[in-house]
Structure 1
């Protein structure tokens, strides 16, 4: 009943906070303190006993620190990590780690030694207090940032700091609490070693747990409820395993697990299910965070009973010490990172906002509550920590929290930059023009009097004229800035198109993951190096990556085909989808980007896109030439998936129009899902085509050999698969074999000219027959199937096949003569 009533209070507070322009966390704390104070008064007053049955559960609320730390904290940490933009956060990883981990140690030291010197409180108790109040609560701060439109980087810094800050602070708190409870002196070396081991152990556990969650998600079969339940269970399992079983930081483990899932989940879950998961987690985190805040606030009056002047002075001293510690990190240590180029410079207004925005909340109160519940601590220490920490939380909420909006406004961080303002105006002009045209069309369609429609349209014309007078984007931005803006938008749209194909089920998960990483690299490279960065990042996708090269080497040295087969099929699918996406992007530039960034810059974007499309088509055609049947099967599969998607959309449309009842609609969807609609087929399989006997039979030189000779040749030769650009033979090396080209083409790069060899040709014989070193580099122009005959086997082969020996020797003589003329 108490929880239900508190949820009602939480619901009422949200619109009230918005109307008062006060952070909801601040209002929750105020209401919670008010409820706790009123309940304590009604229970203690001799005036009436009428409310005792109601207020007794509130005053003696059976909520311990374990409830906060084991029930609510894993949820809040996992949700914060799950919804953060990990790739963008990595751009500021150095300042975030500094403000999160180093700042915790600095805060604990400054606060600990400061209060110890001023009030004579035992040093370990002061250090413990410093670790408790080092935790920050970004909820109220981020809410203000989003409400006023603060810069995205500022929000990212605060969210990232708080996420890792809690983990480091709780690890330090656990260490200090254990030392105090044991009564042993603090060994700095051993303590630091335990802190690092606990932190690193949590990182490893979180990374493993997060990847395990991501790998299990596809087994849920796309069922939203199953996926959500799995992610809901994961943070609890990881937290308890780390904290209770492995004795590492469960908080760090949950945070890292959330970040890992956030970074790798998108290819393993449909976009619609991802949106559902994010919405669900935001709701769960809202309930959990609000309940923690209001329940902790209800307990504050009980903690602050008997407050003295000394307690007030300690709280004020703590406020000053915390600000000094935070300022040391922001204004002294952070510039050092920028000086050594480990981090992008953080502006002074950002630093001031982060300094004043260091609000404390539920985690601080929960840790203080944990101290009061520990039977191994003396009552004076418990009271010191509880009172001082609670007073500090209230100060940051009611002073910093209520004035932060004004501080941000004074620093000018609530205003858009000139570039963003120009972009906003341009978007508004285009949007308003579309709305005006739509209103005009609607008025004609519904036969509304022109006098009525003109009065509505006139307002839009006035707003468009006003915005046009403020200057357009071409005046506000340089050409290279508009080009970079267009390229980032292009990469963003490319990402959305990949996700659309993913939602339609036309892509494998590995290809989705690869293409999403590719678009992220494009955006990061464009932000860093503009047009050149975008082009370099785009070309990287067409190159053979490390996994492909590893699979290729594995096949070359061991003959194992499966990894190479999988990588080649993945490359085929990647190139096919990339070509489709790039084709769709051409229309996007014309319809969306041209009005926004201007015709000249849009033409540059089209030129860049044409170059990408040409290179992608070339790479795909090279593959198609080698494996035409697989290319046809892959395109057939794409169309089959598209047909299935269109069929489902058609049935959903008929259901929405009321033409189908729910039973018929469900039956039709089940028919499509089970593959009984006539479009189901087995997924195509790529065959590398490296069976030695088949390759030999395709080779014209061996066409006349009897079956027994073919069998002998098959045992002597082994197949080799080479990729475009691979050097098969290098000039100057000793000959170890002769190569027969079964399919594909290679180029012999001689001084002054090059010779192209194709199917039915061979090379490498001169070095074996003459004993000389290789005379030229021979590089694959396409994917090639080669038959390789080693040196010793080559001599045996020629000895038993004199006709072939004559053919090879005559070819060698002709080549030697041609080389001499060249």
Structure 2
């Protein structure tokens, strides 16, 4: 017979792993059941979790304290006294919530409201801490430091319930962004102030303003530096994983915990700010290093992790509420009301007192009064407040009176904001009509609905034919969609007519802005498609995504003029390109410039492909969204972009034709490999080839893909000997003369628009054009010089300042000779001296004919 299994103890204790696992599983069950209930009762999930958790904690305490009910003591004990400390909230759950919010945050849109977000996240926390501390101290007679400690604990807001309500009601995206942005940083501000005040309480010292401010700034600044560095390091590791999704997800899970613990415990800076900075950095730079499919999975994974962490925080914090609210009296309620009123006043002071002057100075976009009211009323408190209150009760260095004072008031504060503000916020939003779309957005919505329904109806008609559905069934279904299309079209026309009557010019600009935003958004999707297909390198994808974001933001803010300015801005040389060109021109270092030129050629090549796809998008999709006049404006804008990109691409291709062909061949090879991969996948899914054969084909395919993933190297062809052979006057030089000249001459690449010679400068060099073209800016019209020409010689031979600017018209390869070397070279080569003299005489004659004998060309 098998041996008897060991008998369990009749009473389960917190040290039993099985008990803890059972409690966690039970709470997971509760969380899953709460979701549909919250939807049915139209309550935020966090509010309902708080109610359920408080009920569980109260029931467990009642069972344990009851002398008659003893059968359920083992079950009630882990819920009455859960093994939860402040460290569990702050170290386990908070990094997940912060990182998820940061990594999915649209940083470009967040920066648009940086000023009001920082005001709410930092200044509002300081004002709230001070006002609550002063008010509660005055009413209660409590010392100022404990009262300020209470203020710092309740100053931080929790956006979970508020954002859930916003999304349910369709509140404006900017309102959601303001609340989420505030929550990312105010935890750090509150925790920093909390830490300072706890130290003061323990030491019994006076408040030292200077060191406290220094500590606050150091904590914030250090957290930002740590987070950015860690985020950059993490994204730099991603290419090593070669698209392995499990490895990439594991890295993102480790990142926030490493930053938080190292920041808080090792470097003594804000781990909260560090996690936020790491998440924002990873989210803004990781998209181009992770495939779109893996990025979508990352978002889903972190959304699930944040849901679990947020749910556990609320329910565990709520379970602790009955323990923290023991022996609440009337005096406590009075102080609670005082703290609540002070918190409201503090937010109003910042929103109505500080923000308007900043708006007037154009440092911040305006925030409307309805937004301010919702932000004020929606300042709910949550788990971080409970965690900090719990940390006070666990600290043996603090007096018991301070522990009770903070625990009772902070917990009551949280319950009030959740149960009163949280349950009434939906009604406040509806009264302020923030759940309603503007007339312009309603017209846009109906246009999009009509467009989508037309596509759906056409698809349904094709499906009915494919599946041989009866004509009555198909006709009835299609007629229903036709009626919906007609209704949406009528509503759109009614809204448009109303807006046309009120402000026709504004409506036209709005429509064009919406169309351009849609165009930029579609361009971004196309860039991600190319990223998924491996068409372009990572750095090029990053720049193209950045460009699409810049164009969308500019069109959203300034319409057509903003979009056009953004296009011009994107086309400029980047700081990295300018630095690489500086290294080449001043120090003769070629490798960085070769890399940047290769990237620019690749970017222009992909941009031309994107613009071709955008033309098709306009013809196939935007035609149902806008009238012909508006479409023509959009087409003209895209055509201008196409012409500009083609000119810039042609200039590079003319200089490096072989490299351009190699890049195009690489793109075609990648397309062929993708199609081959899809073909193998289709054969495997249809059962025509087995798994072993499919895996073998896939392995071979991956090896070929790895070979074409690396962009070919660009040779700048800057060997002086090769450059001299392209210049006619140097072709007849003896080998020893050519070798001597090659040692004296310095090769140079000029980029379009670069000013090579400045009017009024003293001449110190002469330039020979090996390939490309430059323009001499003269009165009347510029003179173009091309391959084999020379410029800059007149200032050297006449001793006068340069009399005209010379600008590179295309990418050009030049040979540069210093003045002294040039004169020695001419002295040793009479034939070349004669050729240069003839050029000089012809230019002097042209000068005299143009504007008199005193004018010199160079």
Q: Does residue 612 in structure 1 map to residue 641 in structure 2?
A: yes
Tell me by how many angstroms 1:88 deviates.
0.3
Show CA shifts across 1:299-354 (max 9, x none): 11111122222222222222222112122222222222212211111111111111
Name the stretch that deviates more: 631-640 or 183-192. 183-192
- Would the aligned equivalents of 2:666 and 2:708 in 1 still touch at CA under 8 Å? no
Report the equivalent of 1:58. Answer: 79
Q: What is the alpha-carbon distance in structure 1 between the residues aligned to residue 265 and residue 705 of structure 2?
A: 50
In the alignment, structure 2 segments of 5+ residues that lack a partner are: 1-21, 501-506, 851-858
Q: What is the alpha-carbon distance in structure 2 between the residues aligned to residue 206 and residue 252 of structure 1?
A: 7
What are the equivalent positions in structure 2 for 1:193-204 lying under 5 Å apart? 193-204=214-225
Report the equivalent of 2:341. Answer: 320
- Would the aligned equivalents of 1:371 and 1:386 in 2 still touch at CA under 8 Å? yes
Q: What is the alpha-carbon distance in structure 2 between the residues aligned to residue 232 and residue 595 of structure 1?
A: 44
Report the equivalent of 1:582. Answer: 611
Q: What is the alpha-carbon distance in structure 1 between the residues aligned to residue 83 and residue 469 of structure 2?
A: 65
Tell me by how many angstroms 1:172 deviates.
0.8
Q: Does residue 551 in structure 1 map to residue 580 in structure 2?
A: yes
Tell me by how many angstroms 1:177 deviates.
1.0
Show CA shifts across 1:598-642 (max 9, x none): 221011100110000001000000000000000000111111111
- Would the aligned equivalents of 2:53 and 2:316 in 1 still touch at CA under 8 Å? yes
Q: What is the alpha-carbon distance in structure 1 between the residues aligned to residue 324 and residue 310 of structure 2?
A: 21
What are the equivalent positions in structure 2 for 1:296-311 lying under 5 Å apart? 296-311=317-332
Q: 2:682 aligns with which of 632, 653, 657?
A: 653
The 1:548/1:676 distance shift into structure 2, 3 A limit, reads closer
Q: 2:540 aligns with which of 511, 514, 532?
A: 511
Show CA shifts across 1:108-143 (max 9, x none): 111101011111112111100110011111011101
What are the equivalent positions in structure 2 for 1:275-290 lying under 5 Å apart? 275-290=296-311
3-state SS of 2:362 partner: coil
3-state SS of 1:675 partner: helix
Q: What is the alpha-carbon distance in structure 2 between the residues aligned to residue 655 and residue 384 of structure 1?
A: 68
Show CA shifts across 1:404-461 (max 9, x none): 1111111111111111111111111222223333333333443333333332233223
Tell me by how many angstroms 1:102 deviates.
0.3
Tell me by how many angstroms 1:669 deviates.
1.7
- Would the aligned equivalents of 2:119 and 2:350 in 1 still touch at CA under 8 Å? yes
Report the equivalent of 1:222. Answer: 243
- Would the aligned equivalents of 1:626 and 1:783 in 2 still touch at CA under 8 Å? yes
Show CA shifts across 1:685-743 (max 9, x none): 11111111221233221212221111111112111111112222222222212211111
Q: 1:373 aligns with which of 391, 394, 397?
A: 394
Q: Does residue 802 in structure 1 map to residue 830 in structure 2?
A: yes
Report the equivalent of 1:692. Answer: 720
Q: 2:555 aligns with which of 526, 536, 541?
A: 526
Tell me by how many angstroms 1:680 deviates.
4.6
Q: What is the alpha-carbon distance in structure 1 between the residues aligned to residue 705 and residue 215 of structure 2?
A: 60
The 1:682/1:137 distance shift into structure 2, 3 A limit, reads closer
Report the equivalent of 2:408. Answer: 387
Tell me by how many angstroms 1:241 deviates.
1.5
What are the equivalent positions in structure 2 for 1:97-108 lying under 5 Å apart? 97-108=118-129
- Would the aligned equivalents of 1:738 and 1:762 in 2 still touch at CA under 8 Å? yes
Report the equivalent of 1:436. Answer: 457
Report the equivalent of 1:406. Answer: 427
Tell me by how many angstroms 1:474 deviates.
4.6
- Would the aligned equivalents of 1:365 and 1:390 in 2 still touch at CA under 8 Å? yes
Report the equivalent of 2:749. Answer: 721
What are the equivalent positions in structure 2 for 1:715-794 lying under 5 Å apart? 715-794=743-822
- Would the aligned equivalents of 2:673 and 2:705 in 1 still touch at CA under 8 Å? no
Report the equivalent of 2:594. Answer: 565
- Would the aligned equivalents of 2:765 and 2:819 in 1 still touch at CA under 8 Å? yes
Report the equivalent of 1:244. Answer: 265
Q: What is the alpha-carbon distance in structure 2 between the residues aligned to residue 787 and residue 805 of structure 1?
A: 17
Tell me by how many angstroms 1:815 deviates.
2.2
Report the equivalent of 1:622. Answer: 651
- Would the aligned equivalents of 2:776 and 2:783 in 1 still touch at CA under 8 Å? yes
Report the equivalent of 2:698. Answer: 669
3-state SS of 2:749 partner: strand
Show CA shifts across 1:277-297 (max 9, x none): 111111111111111111111
3-state SS of 2:704 partner: coil
The 1:522/1:186 distance shift into structure 2, 3 A limit, reads same
Q: What is the alpha-carbon distance in structure 2 between the residues aligned to residue 185 and residue 776 of structure 1?
A: 70
In the alignment, structure 1 segments of 5+ residues that lack a partner are: none
Q: What is the alpha-carbon distance in structure 1 between the residues aligned to residue 489 and residue 613 of structure 2?
A: 31
Q: What is the alpha-carbon distance in structure 1 between the residues aligned to residue 310 and residue 556 of structure 2?
A: 35
Q: What is the alpha-carbon distance in structure 1 between the residues aligned to residue 695 and residue 169 of structure 2?
A: 46
Tell me by how many angstroms 1:588 deviates.
0.6
Tell me by how many angstroms 1:59 deviates.
1.7
3-state SS of 1:740 partner: strand
- Would the aligned equivalents of 2:531 and 2:541 in 1 still touch at CA under 8 Å? yes
Tell me by how many angstroms 1:682 deviates.
5.8
Q: 2:568 aligns with which of 539, 542, 548?
A: 539
- Would the aligned equivalents of 2:241 and 2:247 in 1 still touch at CA under 8 Å? yes
Q: What is the alpha-carbon distance in structure 2 between the residues aligned to residue 242 and residue 444 of structure 1?
A: 63
TM (norm. structure 1) is: 0.97
- Would the aligned equivalents of 2:534 and 2:709 in 1 still touch at CA under 8 Å? no
Q: What is the alpha-carbon distance in structure 1 between the residues aligned to residue 705 and residue 236 of structure 2?
A: 29
- Would the aligned equivalents of 1:474 and 1:597 in 2 still touch at CA under 8 Å? no
3-state SS of 1:186 partner: coil
Report the equivalent of 2:842. Answer: 814
Report the equivalent of 2:12. Answer: none
How many residue pairs get aligned? The number is 821
Show CA shifts across 1:38-84 (max 9, x none): 11111111112100111112222121111111111111111111111
Tell me by how many angstroms 1:220 deviates.
2.0
Q: Does residue 210 in structure 1 map to residue 231 in structure 2?
A: yes
Tell me by how many angstroms 1:648 deviates.
1.5
Report the equivalent of 2:103. Answer: 82
Tell me by how many angstroms 1:760 deviates.
1.5
Report the equivalent of 1:708. Answer: 736
Report the equivalent of 1:424. Answer: 445
What are the equivalent positions in structure 2 for 1:8-19 lying under 5 Å apart? 8-19=29-40
- Would the aligned equivalents of 1:128 and 1:176 in 2 still touch at CA under 8 Å? yes
3-state SS of 1:789 partner: strand
What are the equivalent positions in structure 2 for 1:97-496 lying under 5 Å apart? 97-472=118-493, 474-475=496-497, 476=499, 478-496=507-525
